[in-house]
A and B are shown apart, each in its own frame.
Chain A
Amino acid sequence: MATAFKRMSSLRVLALVGVVALGIVAIVGSGGGGSVSGCLAPGPCAGDFPAEPTTPTVDRPRVTTQVGGAAVFSVHAEGIINPTFQWMRAPAGGVFAVIAGATGSSFTLNGATTLDDGATFEVLVKGAFDGRQVSLTSTSARLAVVSSPPVLIQDGTFAPGDWTVAEIASPAVNGPTHSEQQISTGGNPGDYRRMTFMMPPGVGELTLFHEYQAAAYDPASQGAIYLVDFTQDCLALAGTLGAGPQISMTQSGRRYVAGGPTLCGSSAWSNTTLIPGTFAATDFGLIDGPACAAGESCPNFGADGMPIRFGFFDSHRGSAGFAGGVGGFGIDNWKVTFWRR
């Protein structure tokens, strides 16, 4: 090899080194090629170079458990390479301290006591991002420990008589259409509720409130609600329009929704991933019904509150130039958990 280089003129060696270096720089500078189609889709692309890492997020900002129960926290750290985790706990009104041995991406607190009520949990994530070492503190999760057992309202079979649908639809003529069915197979597992809808071209709206009728929560007889846990499985069906069902509730003729849209799995059932899962009364926003009077609790989770029915909500809007389309989704393992103090 050395002899071969000696035979070459220095100019030729320089040119050779230059070509090889240029070739490698071209590879690195290409960004890595690969799945172009994935990069044409909305959202982060494998070749994007964000300037700063996003703050690691705990999957639920509130976690509730009963005395003696377990509380599970987990964190998502997007884009961090070889991350290490260290969970920390701050008692109510206290300062954070490291939890010995809690070094995984999730942490389970077993045997919760009333001393854990109001404690806040965070995780310190360290790792490489964009070619440098970073140290990031996650968003926090607050733990509520209650002494009363939870109350559940849930459905996994979706008998047609157990559910109603209220709609806000426009235009009135040749406007959007929708249908709901109980499907006996293909759920997660077994039965599921299937929703399909059609939006005509142009300006229009289709907002649907699916409400569970087989059970309601009555604060007067069952006690004031402290927090509500919500979970459901979702599957996007074939169509050109997406779906993002959210938790909804009705009280005193007013309809409320909370949380962000559910990310429905496109090829397999997915559990709720974009909604935080645990809600207080203040997390619910009024979207339909009489305006809330000054000083009125809307919604009212207190012991003097009216009965509440829960369900899920899905909304679609078309603006000028909208081409119209069809869509659908399935819901299964729908469950609301009521936590009381």
Chain B
Amino acid sequence: MVLVAAAFLALLVGMLPYLTDRVAGRALLWPSAFTLETGMLFGAVGQWLPSFAHAFAFSLLTVAVLAPRATPRYGVCALWAVINVVFELGQHRDIAKHLTGFLLNDIGAGPLTRPLARYFVHGTFDPLDVLAAVMGAIAAAAVLHGLAPSSEKHDGNRIQANV
């Protein structure tokens, strides 16, 4: 329950730049009506905060739905870091054109490939997003480590966890 609450709180914080800093119509899933366009309220932080929050929140959410086990699932955090980094790298101009060609020409334009192609083409590669995603996953791992009972941090044979 703690993990789910922390994840949703992080997601809410991560969505704030879309509410205040970003221009309407920028995000496919973010309704234009929910964009205030107040300017750079978050400043430079608003550029990478969503990436941090995403990796952090979905690491915790994923762990929350997995069966309880003794050791914290750091691998889940690593997996979300990798997913975020891969999607960020896909927005790099040199990679995006190949990805788009593969998605639309080799796989074929469809309801799944078109939004993906749009994401890679119109998105902006930012090394800070890569860093933020990795830091978000590390922060999630730190939370998992902190929530795990002290005995379980050192004894992997105990099959009890309250996360």
CA distance A131 to B126 in the complex (A): 22
A27 lies within 8 A of chain B by Cβ: yes
Total of A-B residue pairs, C-beta within 8 Å: 147
Residues of chain A within 8 A of B71, CB atoms compared: none
Contact B61 A19 (CB under 8 A): yes
Contact A36 B22 (CB under 8 A): yes
Residues of chain B within 8 A of A39, CB atoms compared: 22-23, 26
Chain A residue at minimal CB-CB distance from B48: A33
B83 lies within 8 A of chain A by Cβ: yes
Contact B67 A37 (CB under 8 A): no
Contact B25 A47 (CB under 8 A): yes
Contact B114 A38 (CB under 8 A): no
Interface residues of B in 50-74 (CB under 8 A from A): 50-51, 54, 58, 61-62, 65-67
Q: Of the candidates B26, B27, B83, B124, which one forms a contact with A24 in the assembled complex, judged by CB atoms under 8 Å apart?
A: B83
Q: Of the candidates B40, B62, B96, B104, which one forms a contact with A36 in the assembled complex, judged by CB atoms under 8 Å apart?
A: B40
Contact B97 A131 (CB under 8 A): no
A15 lies within 8 A of chain B by Cβ: yes
Residues of chain A within 8 A of B97, CB atoms compared: 81-82
Contact A47 B27 (CB under 8 A): yes
Residues of chain B within 8 A of A35, CB atoms compared: 47, 124, 126
Interface size range on B against A: 35 or more
Contact B121 A31 (CB under 8 A): no
Question: Smallest distance from the beta carbon of A44 to chain B beta carbons, Å?
Answer: 10
CA distance A29 to B29 in the complex (A): 5
Given A37-B40, A131-B104, decide whether A47 and B122 contact each other with a Cβ distance below 8 A. Answer: yes
Chain A residue at minimal CB-CB distance from B42: A36
Interface residues of A in 6-40 (CB under 8 A from B): 7-8, 12, 15-16, 19-20, 22-40
Residues of A bordering B, CB below 8 Å = 7-8, 12, 15-16, 19-20, 22-40, 45-49, 81-82, 128, 130-133
Give the 6 A-B CB pairs with smallest separation, nearest first: A32-B123, A34-B124, A29-B29, A131-B114, A47-B26, A31-B27
Q: Beyond the given A30-B50, A47-B22, could you list 17 further A-B residue pairs with CB under 8 A, ordered by the A residue number?
A: A8-B66, A16-B65, A19-B58, A20-B62, A27-B54, A27-B87, A27-B119, A29-B27, A32-B124, A34-B125, A36-B47, A39-B26, A48-B25, A82-B97, A131-B117, A132-B109, A133-B104
